[in-house]
Amino acid sequence: MNQVKLKNLGTIAYKDAWDIQEELLKTAVSKKTSSNESDEVENTLLICQHPHVYTLGKSGHPENLLFRKEELKKNGIEFYATNRGGDITYHGPGQLVAYPILDLEKFGSSIHLYLRNLEEAVIQTLQEYGIKEERLKGYTGVWIEPETYRARKICAIGVRCSRWVSIHGLALNVNTDLSYFKNIVPCGITDKGVTSMNIELNGKVDENQLYEVFIQKFKEVFNVEITKAQTLSTAIE
């Protein structure tokens, strides 16, 4: 069974979390290309929240950010063009953000399978709260009533993979202030909305409990053993 080290970063600036991921990716790729057979990639799952930030994927369209730069600064919102897949999305307080840094050669060597497994971990998490969710054909992420005029996304997913090592991940709206999505065209999709768990449940969700449920579902879906890491094997920690 594959081992995954879990690290809860708490509330952390987006760029700081990105730097940690890139450092872990660099270390993992170095081990994979090493001639030393004892060098084994350390799989990691980072859990966190971010202060208000918009991030644009490498295939995204800058015009999907509806704010001007001076408006971003005035409203205390950061913006980053990233190297993940997907278009533009929002991160902020009240989200569950998960960044798995995994050697996907140990998890089926398939980006498609990896994305579906990320979705499945979220789907099973939401089921524990009685939220009926589905996939939407042709789109990545997790949706509510996807085939209706009320279709709305509850979880966005965007990843990057280098030598079969993954970074970036998913953002599940838990107690999220959805008004921040009004300043973007979320994921570049113009005809569908966004939602959050507290909206669907009509009440605030215990985020610490939600984290535990998600970690358990991640463990089951990916068939891994998870241990909590006190430190990370990077120069950043």
CB 48 within 8 A of CB 10: yes
Which helix (H) or strand (E) segment holds residue 48: the answer is strand 43-49
Residue 75 token pair: 């409203």
Rounded distance between C-alpha atoms, residue 216 and residue 52, angstroms: 27
CB 100 within 8 A of CB 45: yes
Which residues are known to be catalytic? 187
Tell me the C-alpha to C-alpha distance, in Å, between residue 217 and each of 70, 187, 198: 41, 25, 20
CB 156 within 8 A of CB 86: yes
